[in-house]
Amino acid sequence: MFNNKEHGFKKFDEKVWLSSPTMHPESLAYMTEAYETNWMSTVGANINEIEALVCQKVGCHYAVALSAGTAALHMAMKLAGVQPGELVFCSDMTFDATVNPVVYEGGIPVFIDTEYDTWNMDPVALEKAFELYPEVKLVVVAHLYGTPGKIDEIKAICDTHGAKLIEDAAESFGATYKGKQTGLFGDYNVISFNGNKIITGSAGGVLLTDDLEAANKVRKWSTQSRENAPWYQHEELGYNYRMSNVIAGVVRGQLPYLEEHIAQKKAIYNRYQEGFKDLPVKMNPYDAKQSEPNFWLSCLLIDDEAMCKQVRGEQEVLYISEPGKTCPTEILEVLASFNAEGRPIWKPMHMQPIYRMNGFVTREGNGRAKTNAYISGGAVGQDNLPLDVGMDIFHRGLCLPSDNKMTVEQQEKIIQMVKACFE
419: enclosing H helix or E strand:
helix 408-421
> What are the DSSP calls for 128-185, one per residue?
HHHHH-TT--EEEEE-GGG----HHHHHHHHHHTT-EEEEE-TT-TT-EETTEETTSS
Q: What is the C-alpha to C-alpha distance for residues 222 and 233, in angstroms, rounded to an integer?
A: 15
Q: Which of 197, 217, 325, 413 is catalytic?
A: 197
Largest CA distance in the chain: 75
Contact by Cβ (8 Å): 88, 111: no
Contact by Cβ (8 Å): 148, 177: yes
Q: What is the C-alpha to C-alpha distance for residues 279 and 273, in angstroms, rounded to an integer?
A: 10
Triad 326, 287, 93: Cα angle to 5° = 55
Between 25-37 and 45-58, two packed helices, what is the crossing angle to 10 degrees? 140
Contact by Cβ (8 Å): 369, 391: yes
Mark residue 381 as left, alpha or beta (left: phi above 0; alpha: psi -120 to 50; beta: remaining). left
Residue 38, CA distances (Å) to 41, 50, 65, 133 in order: 8, 18, 19, 52
55: enclosing H helix or E strand:
helix 45-58
Question: Other CB atoms closer than 10 Å to residue 287's CB: what's the count?
Answer: 13
- Distant-in-sequence, close-in-space partners of 405: CB < 8 Å, separation ≥ 6: 17, 20, 22
R_g over Cα of the chain:
22
197 catalytic, yes or no? yes
Catalytic residues: 197
